[in-house]
A and B are shown apart, each in its own frame.
Chain A
Amino acid sequence: MEFAELIRTPRVDNVVLHRPFYPAVEGTLCLTGHHLILSSRQDNTEELWLLHSNIDAIDKRFVGPLGTIIIKCKDFRIIQLDIPGMEECLNIASSIEALSTLDSITLMYPFFYRPMFEVIEDGWHSFLPEQEFEFYSSAVNYFVTLRYFFSFELFCVFQTSEWRLSYVNKEFAVCSSYPPIVIVPKSIDDEALRKVATFRHGGRFPVLSYYHKKNGMVIMRSGQPLTGTNGRRCKEDEKLINATLRAGKRGYIIDTRSLTVAQQARAKGGGFEQEAHYPQWRRIHKSIERYHILQESLIKLVEACNDQTHNMDRWLSKLEASNWLTHIKEILTTACLAAQCIDREGASILIHGTEGTDSTLQVTSLAQIILEPRSRTIRGFEALIEREWLQAGHPFQQRCAQSAYCNSRQKWESPVFLLFLDCVWQILRQFPCSFEFNENFLIMLFEHAYASQFGTFLGNNESERWVHCSHGAISFLVVLVTS
């Protein structure tokens, strides 16, 4: 398909751009395959380059022959274009609409983007520690999978004799949303892992997420166990998670759903670990919301922020009604609980919700921010996102398809990652001297998760990304490190 087919009017003159914090600019509007560009063609005035993929919704208005397009972006900006001529306006609007809703991943900008700067190291591989490089390149045949490793601190895991790397998922056959390489207890062989995978939602068997150097305790994550209504059990699963406990120790299972929700899940074949079968584990239920409830919360929050009445009571009641901060608090409380179990109680934990791709990742990654100083550095934080979000299979493509302004609401659209970043920001506010980065870094990650020239957040999991990344999208995490 050619982009030109979608662009009905590539260029309009005398368009006036209004956007927040800038004076209005009159100039020429151009549409390209991936960008909306407005330039006054004069020096010293900033041009607007807007990725079509950043467009969340558009509104059209007409006053006589003057058309107005209001563009609502996924990064919450609202931009207004005044376009002379009704036909041009309609053409532009429909072109934008078509270009911003392309559904083929390979048509996305990252596959066309060529950076102006020199790529010093290829970001796809950058999180592999050098000394391990040879080992992996010989052990794994897939060159592209080299990047799967892991932030540095995980490597101390291998100084202990309790953990090993498993390539059981190298063809993405055991679990489609897991990376090809995972870390599991040494005493569990790949055959057992395959069995456990059949007992866990989406094949997401328990894997190592974090190793706490101070006391050797770990965070594991997984999907829910498929116990169903008749209380199915899986000996290998029990063996696997017990293998993470030291002699005489107990562990905690943190289920990110409330008990009721977890019980209801049994009817659909899901469920939770029964005390009888996991006697060494104590289960704690927290209730972190998911899916459209979060999306609606975000929509309400952004609506409150855009309220033009400047009325204090209205703002406070809308903020309250959005429940956004309640979600933040719930996630943070759960992460604190997890960190406390590890650091204070000296107990290992297993975290899961239903799929183990949303609230689970919020909790595991925030617990690491709290526990591990290195994850509060720029590089460490990128490694954390790489490990706990990208490789762990958070479905970015689905979750970030739309933002706060879109009307077509799909169940899978949800600002899970944004909530995580907001939680990090909250910690940053309380510990302003403990982070190497500032809030701009978090905002930038948010923007790239929703629309980017880099391929980092494309796709829903490693297997999808693996198919596409050889086509040449560039990961941006490294670009940030080096710039």
Chain B
Amino acid sequence: MEHIRTTKVEQVKLLDRFSTSNKSLTGTLYLTATHLLFIDSHQKETWILHHHIASVEKLALTTSGCPLVIQCKNFRIVHFIVPRERDCHDIYNSLLQLSKQAKYEDLYAFSYNPKQNDSEQLRGWQLIDLAEEYKRMGVPNSNWQLSDANREYKICETYPRELYVPRIASKPIIVGSSKFRSKGRFPVLSYYHQDKEAAICRCSQPLSGFSARCLEDEHLLQAISKANPVNRYMYVVDTRPKLNAMANRAAGKGYENEDNYSNIRFQFVGIENIHVMRSSLQKLLEVNGTKGLSVNDFYSGLESSGWLRHIKAVMDAAIFLAKAIMIENASVLVHCSDGWDRTSQVCSLGSLLLDSFYRTIKGFMVLIEKDWISFGHKFSERCGHLDGDPKEASPVFTQFLECVWHLTEQFPQAFEFNEAFLLQIHEHIYSCQFGNFLGNCQKEREELKFKEKTYSLWPFLLDDQKKYLNPLYSSKSQKFAVLEPNTVSFNFKFWRNMYHQFDRTLHPRQSVFNIIMNMNEQNKQLEDDIKDLESKIKQHENKQTDGVLTRESLHSVRPESPTLKTSLCFKEQTRLPVNDALRTIEGSIPADNRYSEYAEEFSKSEPAVVSLEFGVARMTC
């Protein structure tokens, strides 16, 4: 609180970023310990969490006041005009302080209180159980076992305690191999395909330099290929571009030499490093922030940012994995440099293609817990949770979510969850409201006692799962189905709802998705009505002394429901109360749930086609 000098400024203007007429809203700006709040004259609230703020900029004074531009990590950009420069300066300084914390203990998660008791909190953390997940995959089994080598984090600090390795790999082999791998991240199981008995394994780069070898490491790789009873050779996928991998050799690192390992097939897939990704996103955002962008500038900007090229590279790598397992029945070992960025992307996406469980709401949480959180993707550094080295920040996880989104676009029936779910998760990797994504590895999380001091996000999302359900999902047809996405360039689109989530004017004005949701809701209600009426008939029957049902009472069974008459699609759009869809995460503030706000917006101004504005479709061009 010591950073807050001004808590309230009146007559502040909020500019619309893309409006050509320079429209603005006037209202009051409040600064709290955790949020920046703007309430406009229509009492509409805009909440901005301090942790979401990526940068604050004070522009040159104008006649109407002092402009303050806030860019958020969830791609919201707000442009305020504060009438007095002094106020603007105070807010600017406070936000600078508040948005960059030095200690974990100062983050929102440690003060956030969703009114749960201790056992609820603990149950929340136990919701996702990875041991259970490995059991579901079918390990341990005759070829794979749980290793206790890292039980005390002695071999690798950034790995979890519980790791699965081939049964024939003894502890000395593991220890030896870990010494030959960057950061001690030796090859371990990430995903086991029960039917094919093939595995996706992950590790970091070998410390091979130009010629170094390690017998234990060679043994461990051999053990992995032997653990696959069907196919003796395995793929080793280096997710880096070849040039980068070669450059690493000069630093005593590098990649596997095919000659030293028996039965491996080595492959580069060319995903760029975190620095390239960071600047790529930066460019993308610059292009999309341009007012009055021409079509050609948009496409040349999209091209020169390289963003979609990177997304495609990640996707192609994941497809390579899925194909190796499905078609060739071969196990795959994946690594990059340290094995926590690109490796996490590729392993998790590959498993998602192979296993329909990961395409459910619960399964997706498990996947993130497994391949990202437990295997030590450095969330705090990549998301800049604390005031640290900006060069460590990178949108690696955002890219993963985007890849998943592209898959949902290509396979609209394959996912139990919808876009809102992805956006909500993205929101929370930066929000620091829950403990899941804080810290950089499990060891750190344990030391800081996150499980006692903070809450887990997953139970809150599950409680709210109605909001995140994909109405088109068909679970039956998805069983055992492997997704085979098409990566022709034009299948990759700019993800408007992620990068322009908050720029309402850029969204389409009708949402088929909402209509289907409402329709489902309505069907459910009608089904309930039927049940209700049927039970009434039964009662009626029982009451009737002579046991004969009169025609009249039969007639009343099928009341003319007005809702049945209105066709939802083309002609008219009836709306159900959206209350349910609008429930926010309990205890959290509406600001963290803009997607629902967005749904609300839809349902409000949403055109019942024909009656809308006298049937006039308004376009944004």
Q: Does B300 contact A (CB under 8 A)?
A: yes
- Contact: A336 with B621, CB < 8 Å? yes
Chain A: how many interface residues by the 8 Å CB criterion? 38
- Contact: B619 with A430, CB < 8 Å? yes
Q: Which of B485-507 contact A (CB under 8 A)?
A: 487-490, 492
- From A314, A328, A376, A436, contact of B489 by CB (8 A): A314
- Contact: A431 with B607, CB < 8 Å? yes
A307 to B620 Cα, complex, angstroms:
31
**A82-90, A239-247, A263-271, A318-326: which lies at the B interface?**
A318-326
B618: A residues at CB distance < 8 A: 370
B569: A residues at CB distance < 8 A: 433
Q: Does B43 contact A (CB under 8 A)?
A: no
A332 to B296 Cα, complex, angstroms:
16
A373 to B511 Cα, complex, angstroms:
18
- Contact: B296 with A323, CB < 8 Å? yes
Which residue among B490, B610, B612, B616 has the maximum number of chain A CB atoms within 10 Å of its CB?
B616
Nearest chain A CB to B418 CB, angstrom units: 16
- Contact: A310 with B607, CB < 8 Å? no
A312 to B508 Cα, complex, angstroms:
26
- From B489, B512, B607, B621, contact of A311 by CB (8 A): B489
With contacts A325-B295, A434-B510 taken as known, whether A316 is within 8 angstroms of B615 at the C-beta atoms is no
A323: B residues at CB distance < 8 A: 295-296
- From B492, B511, B619, contact of A312 by CB (8 A): B492
- Contact: A433 with B487, CB < 8 Å? no
A371 to B508 Cα, complex, angstroms:
17
A319: B residues at CB distance < 8 A: 299, 490
Q: Which of B571-621 contact A (CB under 8 A)?
A: 573, 607, 609-610, 612-621
- Contact: A332 with B619, CB < 8 Å? yes
Q: Does A315 contact B (CB under 8 A)?
A: yes
- Contact: B296 with A320, CB < 8 Å? yes
With contacts A317-B300, A320-B296, A433-B570 taken as known, whether A372 is within 8 angstroms of B488 at the C-beta atoms is no
Tell me if B's interface is mostly helix, strand, loop or mixed.
loop
A314: B residues at CB distance < 8 A: 489
Nearest chain A CB to B37 CB, angstrom units: 32
- Contact: A430 with B510, CB < 8 Å? yes
A343 to B509 Cα, complex, angstroms:
18
**B211-219, B306-314, B327-335: which lies at the A interface?**
B306-314
- Contact: A312 with B607, CB < 8 Å? no
Nearest chain B CB to A303 CB, angstrom units: 13
Q: Does B392 contact A (CB under 8 A)?
A: no
With contacts A310-B488, A312-B312 taken as known, whether A427 is within 8 angstroms of B300 at the C-beta atoms is no
A370 to B613 Cα, complex, angstroms:
11
A311 to B509 Cα, complex, angstroms:
33
Task: Find the B residue at minimum CB distance from A371.
Answer: B616
- From A305, A313, A332, contact of B621 by CB (8 A): A332
A372: B residues at CB distance < 8 A: 615
With contacts A323-B296, A370-B616 taken as known, whether A310 is within 8 angstroms of B487 at the C-beta atoms is yes
Tell me if A's interface is mostly helix, strand, loop or mixed.
helix
Q: Does B517 contact A (CB under 8 A)?
A: no
A431 to B508 Cα, complex, angstroms:
7
Q: Which of A5-25 contact B (CB under 8 A)?
A: none
Q: Does B302 contact A (CB under 8 A)?
A: yes
Nearest chain B CB to A398 CB, angstrom units: 28
- Contact: B299 with A325, CB < 8 Å? yes
Q: Does A410 contact B (CB under 8 A)?
A: no
- From A214, A326, A432, A436, contact of B296 by CB (8 A): A326
Q: Which of A337-377 contact B (CB under 8 A)?
A: 339, 343, 369-373, 376
Q: Does A429 contact B (CB under 8 A)?
A: yes
Q: Which of B149-184 contact A (CB under 8 A)?
A: none
- From A316, A320, A325, A336, contact of B619 by CB (8 A): A336
- From A310, A326, A373, A432, contact of B615 by CB (8 A): A373
Nearest chain A CB to B160 CB, angstrom units: 35
Task: Find the A residue at minimum CB distance from B489.
Answer: A315
B300: A residues at CB distance < 8 A: 316-317, 320
A313: B residues at CB distance < 8 A: 303, 306, 309
Q: Does A232 contact B (CB under 8 A)?
A: no
- Contact: B508 with A430, CB < 8 Å? yes
Nearest chain A CB to B488 CB, angstrom units: 6
A310 to B294 Cα, complex, angstroms:
25
A432: B residues at CB distance < 8 A: 508, 510-512
Nearest chain B CB to A367 CB, angstrom units: 10
Which residue among B489, B609, B610 has the maximum number of chain A CB atoms within 10 Å of its CB?
B489
A430: B residues at CB distance < 8 A: 508-510, 617, 619-620
A329: B residues at CB distance < 8 A: 294-295, 621
Nearest chain B CB to A222 CB, angstrom units: 24
A310: B residues at CB distance < 8 A: 487-489
Nearest chain A CB to B175 CB, angstrom units: 43
Q: Does A187 contact B (CB under 8 A)?
A: no
Task: Find the B residue at minimum CB distance from A370.
Answer: B617
A427: B residues at CB distance < 8 A: 617, 619
With contacts A370-B616, A373-B615, A430-B510 taken as known, whether A435 is within 8 angstroms of B621 at the C-beta atoms is no
How does the 8 Å CB contact mask read for B309-353 relative to A, with 1 for contact and 0 for none?
Answer: 100100000000000000000000000000000000000000000
Task: Find the B residue at minimum CB distance from A316.
Answer: B303
With contacts A316-B308, A371-B616 taken as known, whether A435 is within 8 angstroms of B570 at the C-beta atoms is yes
A431 to B608 Cα, complex, angstroms:
11
A18 to B607 Cα, complex, angstroms:
46
A327 to B602 Cα, complex, angstroms:
30
- From A305, A317, A371, A435, contact of B303 by CB (8 A): A317
B15: A residues at CB distance < 8 A: none
With contacts A310-B488, A336-B619, A431-B509 taken as known, whether A214 is within 8 angstroms of B614 at the C-beta atoms is yes
Q: Does A470 contact B (CB under 8 A)?
A: no
Q: Pull 28 A–B residue pairs with CB atoms less than 8 Å apart, ordered by A.
A: A307-B489, A310-B487, A312-B309, A312-B489, A312-B492, A313-B306, A315-B490, A316-B300, A316-B489, A317-B299, A319-B490, A320-B299, A320-B303, A325-B299, A326-B296, A332-B619, A339-B619, A343-B613, A369-B617, A371-B617, A431-B510, A431-B617, A432-B510, A432-B512, A433-B510, A433-B515, A433-B573, A434-B617
Chain A residues near B (Cβ < 8 Å): 214, 305, 307, 310-317, 319-320, 323, 325-326, 328-329, 332-333, 336, 339, 343, 369-373, 376, 427, 429-436
Q: Which 10 A-B pairs have the closest CB atoms?
A: A315-B489, A316-B303, A320-B299, A373-B615, A312-B309, A434-B609, A326-B295, A430-B508, A333-B621, A325-B295
